[in-house]
Amino acid sequence: MLFRQLGDGKNEWQAIGLMGLIYDRVGKPPKALELHQQALEITRRIRDRRGEGTMLNNIGRVYNRLGQYPKALENYQQALEITRRIRDRRGEGTMLNNIGAVYRSLGQYPRALESYQQALAILKEVGDRSGKGATLNNIGAVYDGLGQYPKALESYQQALAILKEVGDRSGEGATLNNIGAVYTSLGQYPRALESYQQALAIRKEVGDRLGAGVTLNNIGAVHTSLGQYPRALESYQQALAIVKEVGDRPGEGKTFNNIGYILEAQKQTELAIVFFKQSVNTFESIRIDIRKLPKEQQESYTKTVEGTYRKLAELLLSQGRVLEAQQVLELLGDVEKSWND
Mean pLDDT of the chain: 92
Reported confidence tier of residue 334, pLDDT bands at 50, 70, 90: very low
pTM of the model: 0.79
pLDDT of residue 8: 60
Other Cβ atoms closer than 10 A to 82: 22
Q: Please, are residues 312 and 273 in contact by the beta-carbon 8 Å criterion?
A: yes
Q: Please, are residues 242 and 216 in contact by the beta-carbon 8 Å criterion?
A: yes
Report the C-alpha gap between 134 and 285 in whole angstroms: 30
- CATH superfamily, domain 1-87, is Tetratricopeptide repeat domain (1.25.40.10)
Report the C-alpha gap between 97 and 322 in whole angstroms: 45
Q: Is 131 helix (H, G, I), strand (E, B) or coil?
A: helix
pLDDT of residue 25: 78
pLDDT of residue 266: 94
The yes-or-no verdict on residue 341 having pLDDT over 60 is no
* pLDDT tens by residue, 272-288: 999 999 999 999 999 99
Burial of 337 (0-12, 13-18, 19+ CB in 10 A): exposed
* pLDDT tens by residue, 185-226: 999 999 999 999 999 999 999 999 989 999 999 999 999 999
pLDDT of residue 93: 96
Q: Please, are residues 16 and 39 in contact by the beta-carbon 8 Å criterion?
A: yes
pLDDT of residue 340: 37
pLDDT of residue 150: 96
Residue intervals in the chain for CATH 1.25.40.10: 1-87
**Could you give the C-alpha distances from 71 to 7, 77, 127, 207, 223, in angstroms and in order?**
31, 10, 31, 26, 36
Report the C-alpha gap between 230 and 175 in whole angstroms: 27
Report the C-alpha gap between 191 and 153 in whole angstroms: 13
